[in-house]
Amino acid sequence: MANPMADEMRRFKGSDEKNPFEAMSERFDRAALLLGLDEDLYAVMRVPSREIKVYIPVTLDTGHIQVFEGFRVQHNFARGPAKGGIRYAPDVTLDEVKALSAWMTWKCAVVNVPFGGAKGGIICDPAQMSLGELERLTRRYTSELIDFIGPDKDVPAPDMNTNEQTMAWIMDTYSMHARHTVNAVVTGKPVALGGSLGRREATGRGVLFCVNEAIKRFNLKPEETTVVVQGSGNVGGIGALLMHEQGYKVIAVSDVGGGVYNPKGLDVPDVLNYLKVNKSLDGYPNVDFVDNKALLELECDVLAPCATENQITSENADRIRCKILAEGANGPTTPKADKILHEKGIFVIPDILANAGGVTVSYFEWVQDRMGYFWSEDEVNARLEAKMVASFDELCFAAEKHDVDTRTAAYMMAIDRVAYDTRMRGIYA
């Protein structure tokens, strides 16, 4: 692509392999180059539409006031309202939120739902905060963003360390300002407040649907397929449980402190129940214990990193021993690791497809809220499976058509769809 702006735009890109925004930008550049993306569209699509930074004063239980720093990045509106989660963590950064907002744009486009991407975050340690403090933090953060979010503007959702209670507080705060109930302002709400059946399991279920399709390429059946899952939360735990229920041999699962491994297979429901009761996998009987780094290097058919970013890098990619990498987490693999995995012949189900089950059912929730009619869980799951399988098939077709790896193909699909809508709408000036 002859693009005189490329050098200028690459000012975002540096040498830090683990910087999430740089990783997203590098992949965007490669896909845009292969597509021959128009230089003007390239300039528009590579940067966010809006970055919002807020300072949030919160009265703590001690009576003192602490000011927290929060972000909301709205990456793109070409295909519809922005969509993306809100995370609470001590290590939230603007670069991370920017990268995640862009990933949401591409993720929505890959599964062809009419949203753009957004992401939010607050720098805090929720483990050290009371429920009351978290509520006051959430409500003040919502009020700071009140002019920028809404069912037709930007629809938040849960993410790391936030949940359906957090979404209920956001919905109520927004509704108080609107002077009527607006349940479509967020997704991931309690079912009783307009949430969708099947939403909690949707991301893990989406991983399962993608793995079901991927193993066909290796002539494997579930009962013949060994699976290693990094993570045991809403994605990893549910994904491991659903795969176990479908007959997969899940041989390792981890939490933040490390993992348990049994080459003969784990009783996943029992492992997760033990973790729920004991808050740790330490002491679980009849297994070997491995740390999270060693767990990634176990020999298996399917490796599903479902924890956090930058788990597979240039430092360990050559030691990954799976046939299929199903990225349940956002950004678990760095661009430098991509090249190594591709050379090893590992089939990657990229994050912007593998974990798109959550945003797909969030879209279903938003649709149900807008029409005031709710579907059964079986109907939600059937619609999710149809969407994930169709998107997987489109991804494989694009990879073969363009003779590229699956991650590049996913970016090419997404960028092409967003570019088409942007081109058709034009640039308002």
Tell me the residue length of the chain.
429
Supply angle C-alpha 62, 67, 69, rounded to 5: 140
Report the SS3 class of residue 381.
Answer: helix
3-state secondary structure 148-165: CCECCCEEEEECCCCCHH
The rounded distance, in Å, linking the Cα atoms of 176 and 142 is: 11
- Decide: 161 and 123 in contact? Cβ < 8 Å: no
- Decide: 229 and 250 in contact? Cβ < 8 Å: yes
Query: By C-alpha distance, which of 378, 385, 389 is closest to 196?
Result: 378
Residue type for position 26: E
Residue of 83, 98, 107, 119 marked active site: 119
Which stretches of 257-334 are DSSP H helices? Answer: 268-278, 292-296
Active site residue 18: no
For residue 299, give Cα distances in angstroms to 21, 130, 284, 323: 31, 42, 21, 9
The rounded distance, in Å, linking the Cα atoms of 133 and 166 is: 12
User: Which residues are bridge partners to 288 per DSSP?
Assistant: 261
User: Which residues are bridge partners to 158 per DSSP?
Assistant: 86
| Locus of tokens 């109520």 | 172
Report the SS3 class of residue 139.
Answer: helix
The rounded distance, in Å, linking the Cα atoms of 88 and 137 is: 10
Which residues does the annotation mark as catalytic?
119
